[in-house]
Structure 1
Amino acid sequence: MSEPPSDIPAKTSRRAPAPQPPEPGLNIVSTPIGNLRDITLRALDALAGADRILAEDTRVAWKLMDAYGISAKVQPYHDHNGAKMRPEILQALADGERVVLISDAGTPLISDPGYKLVREVISAGYAVRSLPGPSALLAGLAASGLPSDAFFFAGFLPPRTGSRKNRLQELAVIPGTLIFYESGPRLAACLADIAFVLGDRDAVVARELTKKFEEYRRGTTSELAAYYAGGGAPRGEITLLIGPGDAGGNVQMDVDAELTALIPGLGVKGAAAKVAQATGLSKRDLYARAQALKEGGV
């Protein structure tokens, strides 16, 4: 048998890196957003080697730890007890403890508790590290088909339509994909407000990411608003992604122009109904807008 060419390196046996327990300080650890197999090896090392684990909901934390045979001291840390807990946590860091912070799912601090704690730990001079891992907003963006070179995560929009539209007005100028978290019962109304303020943009509803019933539904904002208005509120966790507009601006004036042109021939009610049929926007909102235009209150 001939010898292998000298320029081909010989195979060497490789072993997985040794476990890496967390270092003293505050370690921010990402956990699965649904599929428990998405946990990272480094996250498991951190959980197993922590002196204490701070969890948004200890019941959720124990489900993950039980799945991997991990036992550790677990304490609740959330918005309601944060002020009371932070002095105790700072003392633990002063004593050299390895403290791990997790949320119910995904990356802590992303629409989850932890910001004030991180600020105080930094101010006190202790180390803060982030152990990266699952994130619903990044998972949704990667598979959305929307531009990913520039994006803005805006968390949850306000629940009331007036405040929501005001917030959307502020976001209209952002030249990138917008990402929100939303609940099923509010989804249709939220999409209708987005279509009204931002225009009929490409959009994706990413639901139950990494779970059994994972779903991506794609369409324009008006198409998706009409779909969920007619089909009822979807279940599960929702990540809502809105593609950038042509100029990143507000198209409400286009809707106003259409209503203004139709009111003389169809009246307020008829104009609102026609624009609602064409766009999928809320007939009630359009009627109110048409009435304001007719009365000159704009």
Structure 2
Amino acid sequence: MASSAEYILPLKWTGEGPITELADYLATLPEWVEVTVVDGSPENSFERHARALPPRVRVLRPDASGAGNGKVIGVLTGVRAARHERLVLADDDVRYSAEQLREVVNRLDDADLVRPQNYFRELPWHARWDTARSLINRALGSDYPGTLAVRRSILEATDGYSSEALFENLELIRTVHAAGGREARADDVFVVRIPPTARHFLGQRIRQAYDSFAQPGRLAAELLIVPLAAYAAERPHRLLAGIGSLMALAEVGRRRQGGRSIFPPTSAFWAPVWALERGICIWLAVLSRLRGGVPYAGGRMKLAAHSQAWLGRRHAQAHTRPRQGAEAQ
């Protein structure tokens, strides 16, 4: 069967990474998908990765001219080099089955971007903690996964998306919307993600909170968490009501679109813990903002993501692009 999609994986490991496990996973991807790894790792690691990856995997260096968010630069390098219209963008910890890959690619027949749902394969304490965030996102709309499927033609029409944005998935989604593209929220397609180490998880708390600067309503709500918790603590019944409301909200997300078959029944219990952490970290993110942005790759990034209105003005001309038809699978 001729290839009908391309799998693009941006990679940048500064230390020893699980390259053997990643190579074994990429070798299992179906033959109708071509695979491109864009590796921004140091030279010695790049060479080791290239030797370890399966022969079918094309390994590229990210464009040297790019600046800003390294993941975005890697993705756009892969998009420019892509050989197919339908693209699957995935972080190095995402693990698709052949059926899931087929499903998200098929949904691109009627959409320009497909947003599936990630869940953790194993559940150490910090994965349970972060699962609560995913459930709250599902209850309020959709989660922001480590993988998206997108049509190359819409990214060509917009000349990619901004590498100045820290919250790169939201920036990509908003860019597709700004170009008149249609998003399919695949909340019922559950794709495995390997949990990070506890150390990495803890190191990402403020950075993830900083993403809320791209969503003013969410930012305002999160800034109120600590003051409201302090107020409620003086009246235990109100504190218990708040805790119960958070767990109920997370449970709504767990029950959406078949989530009960994926997320354990205890997942919602972690929602108050996650909310308290976010309520603290969002104020630390405010301090980072005042200092010029959140630390990133030896510098600071101030922009979480451009607003939908700003992107709409920038990409107004992209609405006139001809829509490319689906390739045969």
Q: Counting helix residues as a fraction of each chain, which structure ranks higher? A: 2
Q: TM-score, normalised by structure 1?
A: 0.29
Greater gyration radius: 1
